[in-house]
Amino acid sequence: MLLLGVGLFALANAASAEPISPKVGTITAPSEAFAQEPGSDYFLANYDAYEAYLKKLATQSDRMKLVDIGKSAEGRTMWVAIVSAPANLAKLDHYKDIARKLAKAEVKTEAEAQALATEGKAIVWIDAGMHASETVTTQSQIHVLYRMLTGTDAETMRVLNDEIVLFGQDNPDGLQLIADWYMRNPVKTDREFRTIPRLYQKYIGHDNNRDSFMVQMPETEAVNRQLFREWFPQIVFNQHQTGPAGMVVFVPPFRDPFNYNYNPIVMTELQEVGSAMHSRLVSEEKGGSGMRSAAPYSTWHNGMERSVAYFHNSIGLLTEIIGGPTPEKIPLIADTQLARSDEPLPIAPGDWHLKDSLEYQWSLDRAVMDYASRNRERLLMNIWRMGHQAIAKGNTDSWTTTPKRVDALKEAGKDAKADEGYVGYNSRAREGMVASSLYASVLKDPAKRDPRGYVLSPEQRDMPTTITFLNALIKNGVDVDRATAPFTAGGKRYPAGSYVVKTAQAYRPHVIDMFEPQDHPHDAEYPGGPPKAPYDITGYTLAYQMGVTFDRVLDGFSGAFERVPDLMTVAPGRVIGAGKAGWLVGHEANNAFLLTNRLLKAGVPVSWIEPETKAGGKTLAPGAIWVPASPAASGILASSTRQLGIDAYAVAKAPTGAKLALKPVRVGLVDRYGGVIAAGWTRWVLEQYEFPFSVVYPQELDAGNLNAKYDVLLFADGTVPSTAGGPYPGGYRFGMPDAKTIPAEYRGWLGEVTPEKTLPSVAAFAKAGGTVVTVGSANRLATLLDPQIQPALVTKKPDGTLAALDKKAFYIPGAILSAKVDPRQPLAYGMTPTVDIFFDESQPFTLSGTAAKKVAWFEGPAPLRSGWAVGQQRLNGTVAVTDVDLGRGKLFAMGPEVTQRAQPYATFKLLFNGLIYGPAVAATR
């Protein structure tokens, strides 16, 4: 295909001029620095080569400064190349200070802000490589950097003068893995990277772009620090692929719905930038761009890099482009050939090469930089305005209009006559009119106003988890305060040590989004039609997922508060009392499992006390941990209680209630070739809580004799293949490579969990005393293991097999629901009688027989707490989590995703208890 614009391989001629005041000679071109020029067919540059090139450029150009921002999960250095005019680079701290003052609205008046905006520089973040298999972005960035460091045209010089561009690489480990895997094959036409053996981020693969508000991964923390605590860019450009079929690239604007918490200036500016990007492509006759309806992307979910930007008053851009090192074709799709508003310039079908994508990517990057240059002062002023408005909203009565409030307005309008006297409105408009008096009584109902702040008392059931929650806010640049003296808020007295998160701050949208429920609209394909799938999940309120206790304060309040300066560590726990018999520890804190695992690893006896017990003047709920006195136990308790922020009670005599003696466990975490993201998240969680485990692949399961190596087999969501249209959605599959085409060390990872081979081995394992834990879609295996467990929300097909309900009848695409729990059961020790549980097209159960116990269940017609649910009343009476005896062993079936993306700390205990409880029971049988 003919390249339009400046050809990539004419680059040496197009930008051969030396940069202003080069440090050392000329700038090395990509064609000279790599084994082949990035953008060549059948070639990928890996991170080692990319990093070396960055370092070389940093020594050659006075337009670039290279900054180390942290380490990746595998220990590689993450670099940001800061590109600007030499005079700007000499004053980076000054411009960073201006960006912070404006983004955080630290200046109070318009005049002060305007003075800073006039002096300041636009800050633009442009990254690459978030999803390593999306190879265009990093290969493109290499050329973009070279062009920006060597170009002397008027536009380049203006951009360099007006702004500071931060070029980042989000996933060094993935780039190295993907490029090395692709290049390993000497036969060019056989090169591919789709069959990599594991996830391209050590733990979470593609979900590295779902971690932005939780900030669990080191790469996310490094990037977020640059975005919201260091540089505060007005534009965050997160580049991806692949583009819509029959087209080249998706470019914003996005489809609805947008989230109701952020400032609408973000959306209007986003549309401006997106339009500038489309216009640039069209003006250069680069066809095949699409927007809005051309792809499913929306701006609802907070967890992605470009979308978390909206909640920080920054313009978040996402592009999705086609291309890769192996040439491909643009297919002819009839509908894409008819120009329309969302696809302004169709492109002809034909051959496509990586260098073609790189030319488009250059135009897109250039359009963003040009927009930032031309709108420098306005961008700086508007980020201040959004922050200033957020602070004002937090200091006054304010309301957020959501679908539920609009529905309430319509309902109230049925009984109130609409205002008369309006003329010039068509009949359709008149049909929608309601009495204007309802605006104040419904949409401005005083009881429904937004909080002025949130107070988290130190009397938390699980303070270490609360600190993790607050740290997630801090990692996102949110201001968190700590009370240094008692104070009153909302008519309630709080002690010193309480944490306060006020909404009168620039990042108010993010604060609200983390504490308040998401109210996703009912989004149908057409009126009365099936629900339209959202882009990612709809309900994710982090305070709910983590089980944090907080109060919403609707009126203004003050007190002796000090700003938390940086990430916190939990206050040290204590050993309370002087008893010599042993120690009792409550089951409420997740960190109690860390203590338990350390004790078991050291060979120290540990038990759970089945009834309530008393210690230190407190009543400990069922499941309290009992540790008999010993020198080994004393040392571990003394150090671990301090580090983990949990208390142990030294008692004078052993508790008399029934005990369950625990044992060290051997966990087999099931995965598959290529990696299952949910299993990767689970692996990370197990490592954080020091559970001993090994990764198990289907071939090993099929071979049997599993009890000799494992006490528990854990099947995360997606590890058991689902039948097409069956009752357990998810569990999708990619094809397995031919064993002969991959290194011998990975061939043992091939295979799938099957009813024919795997089921008999797993059933034998359980009957002989093993524990099987199934989560989410993996519960297809639970149903096969024990017919007492059946999917609850199903319909029977003509052939007698079961299928999930039609989505018009039941559809919950990622939301938070309220579930009932029985904390007297070992699987639920340490939990409260009601818990917020994440549910993503999950399948609850019906139980029969007496061997299956109901541990968690749904009760009532409206369990939805945050997000979107169609037919939620159908959950009433269904079981979420069950405990089943299988011979001498146990089966714990957990319908909802109790560890989804390592966010729902409140339901981690269901998994953690299961890993320990099942083997303990088996040891006593």
Q: Which fold does the domain 8-390 belong to in CATH?
A: Aminopeptidase (3.40.630)
Q: Which CATH number among 3.40.190.10, 3.40.50.1360, 3.40.50.880, 2.60.40.2700 corresponds to the domain 667-924?
A: 3.40.50.880
Positions of CATH 3.40.50.880 in the chain? 667-924
For 719-770, where are the E strands, in sequence order? none
Give me the residues paired with residue 315 across strands.
235
Smallest Cα–Cα separation from 715: which of 667, 783, 774? 774
Identify the burial level of 30 via C-beta atoms within 10 angstroms of its C-beta, where 0-12 means exposed, 13-18 middle and 19 or more buried.
Answer: buried
Strand 350-352 with 289-290, pairing: unpaired
The number of CA neighbours under 13 Å toward the Cβ of 286 is 28
DSSP codes of every residue in 302-355: SSSHHHHTGGGT-EEEEEEE---SS-EEE---GGGGS-BTTB-S----EEE-HH
Integer-rounded Cα Rg, in Å, for the chain is 29
Distance (Å, whole) CA 480 – CA 495? 16
φ, ψ for residue 38, nearest 5 deg: -55, 135
Q: What angle do CA 722, 724, 727 make, to 5 degrees?
A: 65
Q: Rounded to whole angstroms, how far apart are CA atoms 306 and 315?
A: 8
Q: Give span(s): CATH 3.40.630.10, the chain.
A: 8-390
DSSP string covering 57-111: HHHH-TTEEEEEEEE-TTSPEEEEEEE--HHHHTTHHHHHHHHHHHHTT-S-SHH
Give, in order, the Cα–Cα distances in Å from 201 to each of 44, 302, 674, 807, 903: 18, 20, 12, 33, 18
Report pLDDT for 15: 34
- For residue 851, the model assigns a pLDDT of 81
Q: Which of 616, 649, 590, 382 is nearest to 467 (CA)?
A: 590
Residues 6+ apart with CB under 8 A from 773: 712, 713, 714, 715, 891, 892, 894, 911, 914, 915, 918
pLDDT for the residue 430: 63
Contacts of 810 (CB under 8 A, 6+ apart): 793, 804, 870, 871, 874
Q: Which residues contact 30 (CB under 8 A, 6 or more apart)?
A: 11, 37, 38, 39, 53, 142, 143, 146
Q: Are 855 and 910 in contact (CB under 8 A)?
A: yes
- Residue 482 pairs in a beta bridge with 499, 562
Cα end-to-end span (Å), the chain: 71
Q: Are strands 350-352 and 328-330 parallel, antiparallel or unpaired?
A: antiparallel
Cis peptide upstream of residue 257 (ω within 30 degrees of 0)? yes
Element (H, E) at 258: none
Asked whether the beta carbons of 765 and 707 are under 8 A apart, the reply is yes
Tokens representing 529 are: 């039609």
* Helix/strand/coil for 488: strand
Is residue 317 within 8 Å of 264, Cβ to Cβ?
A: no
* pLDDT score for 2: 31
Q: Yes or no: say if 488 and 557 are a contact pair by the CB < 8 Å rule.
A: yes
Token pair in block for residue 686: 């197990």
If one counts every other C-beta atom within 10 angstroms of the C-beta of residue 657, the result is 14
CA 270 vs CA 342, 373, 380, 551: distances in Å = 15, 15, 14, 34
Residue ranges, the chain, pLDDT below 50: 1-22, 24
pLDDT of residue 729: 80
Q: Where are the beta strands (DSSP E) in 2-53?
A: none
Predicted local confidence at residue 423, as pLDDT: 58
Helix (H) or strand (E) holding 393: helix 376-395
Q: What is the per-residue pLDDT for 429?
A: 60
Say if CB 575 and CB 648 are below 8 A apart: yes
